Structure 1
Amino acid sequence: MMDYTEKQVLQGKAVLFLGAGASYNCTDREKKRIGFTGNELLQKINEEFLGNTPNHLTLDFASTMAIQKAGRENFDLFIKELVCDFDPTNEHKLLSEFKWKAIFTTNYDEAIEKAYRENKSALQKIEKIISDNDSLQKVVVNPDKLPIIKIHGCISRPNDTRTPLVISCSDYRRHQENRSSLYQYLKECLTSDLVIFYGYGLGDNNIVGILDDLEKEGVNRTRHIWLDPFMDEMYKDYWESKNLLCKVNNLYDFLSEIKSKKDSNILSLNSFLKNDSVISKLIPSNDRPSNELETYLLKQLLYVEMNDEIKRESDNYNNDIFYRGNAHGFSWVAKNLDFQRAIERTLEVELFENFEISNQLFNFLIINGYAGSGKSVLLKRLAWNGVSKFNGNCFYLSEGATLNTKLIFELIKLIKEPIILFVDNILEHQTEILEIKNFSIKDCSKIMIVGAARSNEWNNSENILDKLNPNFFSLKDLNDFEVKNLVNKLKEFKAEGSLKELSDIDKYKFIKEKSNNQLLVTLLEATHYGQEFSEIIKDEYEGIYDRSAKDLYLSICCFHRHGLELRAGMIKRLSGINFEQFKEKFLQPLELLVTSYYSYRVNDIVYTTRHSYIAQHVFKQAFLSEMDKAQQLIKIIRYLNIGFDTDSKALDFILKGRILAEEFNDKDLAHSIFNIAQDIGVNNAFILHQRAIFEINHQNPNYELALDYLKRINSSDGYYDMRTVEHTKANAYRKIALNSSSKQDKIKYRNLSLKLLNDNIRTSNRTSMPYHTKGLVLLDEIKDCDNENDLVDIIKDFENNLSAGFKKFPYDESLTVLEHDFSDEIDNSPRAIEKIKEALRKNSDNIYIVQRYAKFYIKKNDFLEARTCMLNFLRNDVNNRAINYLMAYSYIKENESLYFQNAIKYLKKCYSPRDSNYEPKFLHACLEYIYQSEEKALKIFTDLNQSNVSPKIKNKPTHMIRDSEGNERFFDAIIVTINDQFGFVKTSKYAENIYVHKSTISNEEDWEALRPGDPLKISIWFSFRGPRAKTAIIL
């Protein structure tokens, strides 16, 4: 029988922590030992830098003096020369034959790396982690990779000022900066895993300090192993007082003994796999999935059918969990606890009938809706029905899973039939979806992706999936059919709560009245009749009787209010409990409130609330004072590990200066939050930047202090974007100018602000912020300007800045608002208009003056005056796009149906096929469709649909077709196809069918009665995707 330690090592779950003693026996190529002890290193430093002084020295003192004398760069190169030829020892070679969770080391040499490179049969591939900028999470979650975490630096990065080699006390004092994630991961491993120390002595204060910190935190942890072949009884007693199991042994003998007990049942995964694959019945040949794919299908990409595990879980499932808003797992699906949505049957036809007969290889469908509308529930129901009702090849990506395209391609080739992948929160997997789409077309494999996404998130500019033109199906408020279904389900499963006392009619009325809320809110308020949602959530929180459970729930809410999971590794440090203890101690008080599952994205169990909306409400109501809130955030920050995306994002949210300025009136509390982040080694530039933003946005701002913080940021920090710092500095100068009563100070600080913003604009293409802030500064100048000659120059600068901004960021909302504010300011200033007229007389070729003058008179409907100045300009610059667009716009505004040919003539000069001048291109398509060529218009709309703008812009309808009186024009139409959400209609006027959504009908309940062939009257408007029905009237 093997003991716990041996099993942990052989299962690859143990962690190694290697000190200088592990490299002592390293040799060079001639097999001469060149490793050294701490005293030998001290002597070498003394000889090289200190003249071999006979004075008594310590390693710390000697290294500090050496750095002062020779400089950091020369000292680090000296250390590199000492260790660069270290060849691996037998111990290094032996450890490379095992799997490890991680290897930590304070050594600078690369002996371990060489051992793994030389061992061609090594079970893992080494990945070095030296600073916070190395991708710790990507290595940790990959079972084929082994993180070797060099917390004191490495000779592979000499003279890295952000992570210098740690050797002197001054190094130790700042060793955590830019290494925060390394030390936090070490503490998590020390808290949760078996760690084997080797090569250390009592002299390593850094390691002793870490163990002491854990002891102070009172964390229950595994008893770690301390190996030392020369340990005497005094040392042994000392280390065992630190809850360490001491073995007088070297690493080679220790591992050799374990290796001799190697059990093939532990090392081989094959013995755990069933003879029959999960998908045996789907594979038409005798082929089998690889072990990797089989494991993936068991844990992550689920073939959704009733099996023994789901049957067992559903038999013991507490229905209240689902009716409290928790849709984790498939037990509730198997028990049919969910009610049928109106859209469900339409989606089943689309997925399991239309997909089967479609000739299209890659098919993409999105279920969208607001947060808490029931998207995840519907997605799981469809995946389940796809197998149970339609015998489809349906696979659901489980919570916490990764979308592994390599394994999915293997799956597709094995099955040799069309497959459907269901992916919740699909925007988290954008790159993988594009890979699957490309594979589908290249391999001629038929695939359907069914994703779910929140409507507001889908409309985000970072969404690259919209270009794939998915079919959209939206979940809206509950209709009559759905309300009745919900009432019946609650009654069937005795989940009505206090609603039970009402009659069926009153139950229906109550839920119907609430149905314009989120479904989540409706469900909770229905089962807690008489209570508002916020009351229910507060009562749930206050009703957690166990104080530790309550604290834990609040910590989970602190993360999940941002949509982030809380890792078990962090919970162990927060509360001192592991997952098994959680189930034992907290399962009952938190069963209805918390969800836990294994996340393959972080290689750990994670915890969330039922929904981020609930977490937001808990966090908002939980604190009696700002002090309580600050203490909670400080506790969270102390244990965050920015090497993991969830923790890094949480830290970004928590430390946002603008949000802290809103949440804390007491500045000292906010700065105490920043202080703790600084203590754990969070990037100093980031903290100083957020402190400055906090001071600028606080109700009691201190702009001078904000500027002081910004000036202290090290501009040579290559990992921090200094452009954002300069933008914040420009904003601070603007605020100082606004609040100054001195004219000279206003001029001074605005000039400083504009200089920074101009530099920002020259170097940044990622955001419209510099253009927007520059526009605000110029608008401030316009409002304060008392010199009429200066006023014209400022207006020209403003128009120039706005034009450049729109060129790079078409339809940008902040720039659109800025233009509106500017127009109001100018249009309401007769003095400004007179000065523009005067400037125009002197220089009719200045485009910015012409633009402003023309816009003013177009707004006043004085088209002749506007066109006169524009035509004068066009004589010298006939192809100027901005003025040609204004000419077209003037004709459209005056009388579109009369002057459409003139408008089209000018619009054609405003864009080329591949540029980003989308507005004239869109107007051209609209006019072509209405008055000239439908075919030509639809080609332009096809191009616009592929444009690089956010889905929100693409889907925004505008430019309604009007009659000769300027009223909404209606066309006779016949329904061609229709489903629960939308349909297509045919008009006698246009050849192609026109999209119509059920929201175009005044009473959406009437939509359900419509059938193909039914007559309608529709009005039409346009989006980038083409013509759409605006209003539909049932005849």
Structure 2
Amino acid sequence: MALSDALIEKIKKGKVVLFLGSGALFGADLPDKKIPLGNDLRDILCDRFLNESFKDADLAHVAAMAISQTSLFEVQDYIRDYFSDLRPAQFHLKIPNFRWRAIFTTNYDMLVERCYTLNRDPMQSLSIIISNEDNFDETRVTNDLLPYVKLHGCLTRTHDSSLPLVLTTDQYNESFDVRKRLFNHLYELAYDNSIVFVGHSLLDHNVRSVLLDLEKECKGGQRHFLIKPNVDEIEKEFWAHKKITALDITFSDFLDEIDDRISKVDRLLSVITPPSTHPIQAVFNKHVSPSDELIDFLTNQVDWVNPDIPTLGSDPLEFFKGVDQGWDPVAQEIAIPRNLAQNINDLAIEKPEASRDEKHEFYVVKGEAGSGKTILLRQIAWDVGVSRLGIALWVKPGCFADLDIIEEIIEKTGEKVYLFWDDAAVNAIELNRFLQKLDRKELPVTVFTAERYNEWNTRCEDLDELVSDKFELRYLAENEIDLLVHRLETYSSLGPNLKNKTHEERCHEFREIYGRQLLVALHEATMGEPFEDIISDEYENIYPEAAKRIYLTVCVLNRLRIPVRAGLISRIHEISFSQFQNEFYKPLEKVVIISGSGEQDIHYQARHSEIAEIVFRRALANAEDRYQEYINIVKKLNVSFSTDRSSQRSLLRAKSLHELFPQYEDVTAIYAHALESNGTDPYILQQQANYERIRPNGSFDEALRLLEQAKELAPYDSSILHSLSVVWRDKSTNEDDQRLRRKYRAEARGYLNQMITKWGVDGYTSSSLIELSIEALNDLLNDDAATEFSIREAIRSVQQEITDNKRKFPSEKQVHVLEARFSELIDDHRTALTALEKSFEESDREPHLAIRLASLLVAEANFDKAEEVFKQALERRRADHKLNFHYAEFLRNNSKPSHEDLMYFYRRAFTPGDGNYQAQFWYARYAFNLSDAKIQQEVKGIFEGLRKARLPHAAKVEIRDFETAGTERKRFTGTIKTKRSTFGFVKVDGRGDEVLFPASSVEDGLWDAMIEGDRVSFSLGYSFNGPVACQISCDK
């Protein structure tokens, strides 16, 4: 029978999925062996491992018996060897001559791989996918890569026990969990593509299950086809009711017919061939070609920002409503320049290379939601790219930066790379990996990111220590408001509220009435209504209702600042992309942004994540509606795609679900659906355990069970070990029996020690250990049977841990809370203080005990006795870093020592290059004014080392001390040597040192009037970065 024109057109467009069964092997050649069709594989296994009596059983039973007689690997190796010489028939070699949307198969053999290897000019390259862990992302952005999904395993993986060849019923059931996402992807493809089933027996319950699930999962999907020679009319009618057309034709006839009816030209037109060149070659410093990986990177992962970057001619009116229009508003100068941009330019872009501490730097712009951070980053990237100060790269949403490819760019251009990677919290893990690798490679790369204040503080702790500098994008300044109003006037975007007002009145609206946060101000000032009401009314007025539901789903996901795949929307709302274009594009044109390079890479976004958040809160005000929307989304996510994986992680955070859903049953149901849809995932189990820990009346035992399961699946995930420690800790604090408390604390400590053994200690792990030690001390102090010796040892241990933490991790905030709790504990128990004093005398004046005892005496204002304790301890331990540091701190804070004395003890508190940052700082601070050239060189090296230290930026710029004369800050004089947009250098009278000063240090608003050569007076402060001129006043 002839194939329908509709099917031929779909194949031309590459909108057909092949689903191959064992019958697709018919016609292939296996020298000296029989091609196993139907029950042949069963018989082959009987002949090799069993006997004739088993040939009446099915394959699943025979395979199970064969494995029981030998082993899984032996049976799988035999099957691999049996198929090793399989050769395709001539008609099979036509498969690579067409563009397919995907190929799925239940076969294990290498027939398809050989077809693509033997074909000299295949239309696509295979991307083989076998399990949930394989990623579909690389096949999303270009159709020259063909997803080849082997649902039942592959002969190349016969020794992977987690991915067995599916032979038995048990294996099918057990392996389904690790291949569930592959089936989900098949059902997703069915909305926009037709599936052609080849070589399947309908007696096979696995195939029948797929066909029936296809009907259930894809009610709004395409018509599909079943190739079956000599198919019965009754059977045809049965499948027709399920939107499956049975074709009385062989696979050979099928390929021959499409070969005849589809021309070579039509086939070529359907393929998006990756470019073989790229415009960046124009800036290469040598006659070389870019690698294929570089071209792919610049095409699909990042934008190379340059004057010729494509723009779309977008409507400025929509931009002022918050629509992300890519490079258009920047290239066309619709967006207003922000004052902060000049600051960033001076400090990070045009900064001389000789003034940079490292070849690579990392800068973050922080601001409120809707303050214009993304546009500011785009403007900076545009300025860099257009002025050719370096190579500017913008990481696209949902994509990542590859340092190896960036290294190729540097080698071939000889230029510095400026990488702009927005949304730090969403990309925190990948950003951290990139920066750690960059630190090892020492390449000339400057990285910029942006984030909201609260998101940076809660989700970017690991990034904070890598920051070179931070910038804050605040409310609109006077000149920015004036310029913004001019732009609104120029582009007829004033809105009904501003239209009939004067320019000054319009500026007044922004300045005094609606505030200066950009996104909110634009809506409220132009429309004259509260921002949330404007967005809510806009949502309520969307028609038809189906379009409103689609928009709501986009908002639920995009409030997390993650693009939403079109395929996901198709599965949730049971619509194809073409249906969306035809029926819902117009109703959603003003509120949903569609992006992507081709139909396989379509994503939807709201105009802004803040707008999406408002729609979410208003439209889903009650928990029941929120629950239903969450279930609809969670059931359809396919985390083999990185955007879906990011969405799932954000949606399922324990704290977020705890806040959104008051009912325990709702949350457990959400987690259950997530596990059912995407298989057993360690992250989901971990979050479910965290929820059990934080919810009222939660079960610690259930939390531990879930975490142990997660640990088995992800043994190298440190966060799971930490969660186990936290649950055991919380279980101990909620236990009345002291022996059980000790046992539970020991379990908690054991997991922390595992983390230290595998990954080393960090501030958070160290603080967690201190907390456990304090709890143990508290138990001892409340135990009448506790010995004085055990109390002394516990006190000594806690003090040692606190001292080590403060020395190694000076920015760790939790340790200060724990230290205060430790002191209160000892103050509240007289026996503890007595034990501490006695222990100090009996333990050879041990430094940790001396430090704690002296601290308690200082708290009681007994300074003489405290100093005596330090001196006695130093008599025995003169070289102890901790003891010298604490004595120097005591002298600095409680007496009037000479700078020489302080230098002496601080210098004995560190070894050059170690982690005793506080001691290094105070030594350098007091040594700074000495005239000795050797000491000055040492001081310079110390401050340089502190600038490079892995410390939060705030810790580095904090002014920790001033030069004083008596009780007053000493005033110095000097001349402005250099002035930039937001900082400068002053040359100090006397020695001639050039000292940094920020614009904020200039008093009386005279910064703008100040010029180079002006005489000034100032106070001299000290930070980890070195001396800083403060409180500057002009001598004019």
For Structure 1 versus Structure 2, the TM-score category normalised by the shorter chain is: 0.7 to 0.9
2:689–2:707 contact (8 Å) kept in structure 1: yes
Matched with 2:523 is 524
Give the counterpart letter for 2:476 in structure 1: L
**Residues of 2 paired with 1:688 and 1:511: CA distance?**
48
Bigger mean CA deviation after superposition, 602-611 or 90-99? 90-99
Give the secondary structure class of the aligned counterpart of 2:182. helix
Q: Give unmatched runs, 5+ long, in structure 1.
A: 442-446
* 2:700 is the counterpart of 1:703: yes
**Residues of 1 paired with 2:234 and 2:644: CA distance?**
41
**Residues of 2 paired with 1:489 and 1:575: CA distance?**
40
Deviation at residue 648 of structure 1 after TM alignment: 1.4
Q: CA 1:628 to 1:946, structure 2 compared with 1: closer, same or farther past 3 Å?
A: same
Matched with 2:650 is 653
1:478–1:515 contact (8 Å) kept in structure 2: no
Deviation at residue 840 of structure 1 after TM alignment: 1.2
Deviation at residue 567 of structure 1 after TM alignment: 0.8
Give the secondary structure class of the aligned counterpart of 2:375. helix
2:755–2:761 contact (8 Å) kept in structure 1: no
Q: CA 1:172 to 1:911, structure 2 compared with 1: closer, same or farther past 3 Å?
A: same
Matched with 2:951 is 949
Matched with 2:909 is 910
Bigger mean CA deviation after superposition, 411-420 or 74-83? 411-420
Bigger mean CA deviation after superposition, 15-24 or 401-410? 401-410
Deviation at residue 101 of structure 1 after TM alignment: 4.4
**Residues of 2 paired with 1:44 and 1:622: CA distance?**
61
Equivalence map 1:485-884=2 (5 Å): 485-500=483-498, 504-513=503-512, 518-531=517-530, 533-598=531-596, 604-710=601-707, 713=709, 716-717=712-713, 719-721=714-716, 724-765=719-760, 768-784=763-779, 785-787=781-783, 789=788, 790-803=790-803, 805=805, 809=809, 811-827=811-827, 829-859=829-859, 862-884=862-884
**Residues of 1 paired with 2:952 and 2:597: CA distance?**
30
Give the secondary structure class of the aligned counterpart of 1:648. helix
1:278–1:297 contact (8 Å) kept in structure 2: no
* 2:127 is the counterpart of 1:130: no
Deviation at residue 376 of structure 1 after TM alignment: 2.6
1:11–1:267 contact (8 Å) kept in structure 2: no
Q: CA 1:838 to 1:1000, structure 2 compared with 1: closer, same or farther past 3 Å?
A: same
Deviations 1:908-945 (CA, angstroms, capped at 9, x unpaired): 33333443333322333333325565543222122222
Give the counterpart letter for 1:564 in structure 2: I
Taking only aligned residues, the RMSD between alpha carbons, in angstroms, comes to 4.5
Q: CA 1:254 to 1:331, structure 2 compared with 1: closer, same or farther past 3 Å?
A: same
Give the secondary structure class of the aligned counterpart of 1:680. helix
Deviations 1:606-642 (CA, angstroms, capped at 9, x unpaired): 1222233333333333323222222211111111111
Matched with 1:198 is 198
* 2:972 is the counterpart of 1:971: yes
Deviations 1:771-807 (CA, angstroms, capped at 9, x unpaired): 4333333333334432462433332332344455556
Deviation at residue 104 of structure 1 after TM alignment: 2.1
Q: CA 1:1020 to 1:703, structure 2 compared with 1: closer, same or farther past 3 Å?
A: same
1:38–1:59 contact (8 Å) kept in structure 2: no
**Residues of 2 paired with 1:857 and 1:239: CA distance?**
88
**Residues of 2 paired with 1:746 and 1:402: CA distance?**
45
**Residues of 1 paired with 2:613 and 2:634: CA distance?**
18
1:180–1:641 contact (8 Å) kept in structure 2: no
Give the counterpart letter for 1:963 in structure 2: T
**Residues of 2 paired with 1:12 and 1:134: CA distance?**
23
Give the secondary structure class of the aligned counterpart of 1:669. helix
**Residues of 1 paired with 2:299 and 2:958: CA distance?**
45
Q: TM-score of the superposition, structure 1-length normalised? A: 0.85
1:558–1:619 contact (8 Å) kept in structure 2: yes
Matched with 1:997 is 998
**Residues of 1 paired with 2:731 and 2:465: CA distance?**
43
Bigger mean CA deviation after superposition, 64-73 or 815-824? 64-73
Aligned pair count reads 1013
Give the secondary structure class of the aligned counterpart of 1:595. strand
Deviation at residue 514 of structure 1 after TM alignment: 6.7
**Residues of 2 paired with 1:810 and 1:722: CA distance?**
26
Matched with 1:900 is 899
Q: CA 1:617 to 1:1019, structure 2 compared with 1: closer, same or farther past 3 Å?
A: farther
**Residues of 1 paired with 2:681 and 2:976: CA distance?**
63
Q: CA 1:1029 to 1:860, structure 2 compared with 1: closer, same or farther past 3 Å?
A: farther
1:17–1:196 contact (8 Å) kept in structure 2: yes
Q: CA 1:991 to 1:281, structure 2 compared with 1: closer, same or farther past 3 Å?
A: same
Deviation at residue 660 of structure 1 after TM alignment: 2.3
Bigger mean CA deviation after superposition, 913-922 or 377-386? 377-386
Equivalence map 1:233-252=2 (5 Å): 233-252=233-252
Matched with 1:444 is none
1:638–1:676 contact (8 Å) kept in structure 2: yes
* 2:923 is the counterpart of 1:924: yes
Q: CA 1:466 to 1:733, structure 2 compared with 1: closer, same or farther past 3 Å?
A: closer
**Residues of 1 paired with 2:93 and 2:855: CA distance?**
77
Deviations 1:409-465 (CA, angstroms, capped at 9, x unpaired): 887888888897766558766777899999997xxxxx8867442375778454499
Matched with 2:372 is 374
Matched with 1:983 is 984
Deviation at residue 964 of structure 1 after TM alignment: 3.4
1:1016–1:1033 contact (8 Å) kept in structure 2: yes
Q: CA 1:566 to 1:179, structure 2 compared with 1: closer, same or farther past 3 Å?
A: same
1:380–1:396 contact (8 Å) kept in structure 2: no
Matched with 1:216 is 216
Q: Give unmatched runs, 5+ long, in structure 2.
A: none
**Residues of 1 paired with 2:379 and 2:269: CA distance?**
36
**Residues of 1 paired with 2:628 and 2:276: CA distance?**
54
1:892–1:900 contact (8 Å) kept in structure 2: no
Give the secondary structure class of the aligned counterpart of 2:1028. strand
* 2:156 is the counterpart of 1:156: yes
**Residues of 2 paired with 1:70 and 1:199: CA distance?**
30
Equivalence map 1:193-342=2 (5 Å): 193-229=193-229, 231-259=231-259, 261-264=262-265, 267=268, 301=303, 304-305=306-307, 310=311, 313-314=312-313, 317-333=314-330, 336-342=333-339
2:177–2:680 contact (8 Å) kept in structure 1: yes
Deviations 1:707-752 (CA, angstroms, capped at 9, x unpaired): 44445x27643x3447655543443343333334444544444444
Bigger mean CA deviation after superposition, 351-360 or 664-673? 351-360
Give the secondary structure class of the aligned counterpart of 2:572. helix
Give the counterpart letter for 2:181 in structure 1: S
**Residues of 2 paired with 1:682 and 1:940: CA distance?**
53
Give the secondary structure class of the aligned counterpart of 1:177. helix
**Residues of 2 paired with 1:878 and 1:118: CA distance?**
77
**Residues of 2 paired with 1:54 and 1:162: CA distance?**
27
**Residues of 1 paired with 2:465 and 2:514: CA distance?**
31
Bigger mean CA deviation after superposition, 477-486 or 82-91? 82-91
2:711–2:720 contact (8 Å) kept in structure 1: no
Q: CA 1:120 to 1:843, structure 2 compared with 1: closer, same or farther past 3 Å?
A: farther
Deviation at residue 667 of structure 1 after TM alignment: 0.7
**Residues of 2 paired with 1:739 and 1:410: CA distance?**
56
Give the secondary structure class of the aligned counterpart of 2:613. helix
Bigger mean CA deviation after superposition, 630-639 or 147-156? 147-156
Deviations 1:559-613 (CA, angstroms, capped at 9, x unpaired): 222221111111111123344443443344433433221179x961112222333
**Residues of 2 paired with 1:710 and 1:475: CA distance?**
41
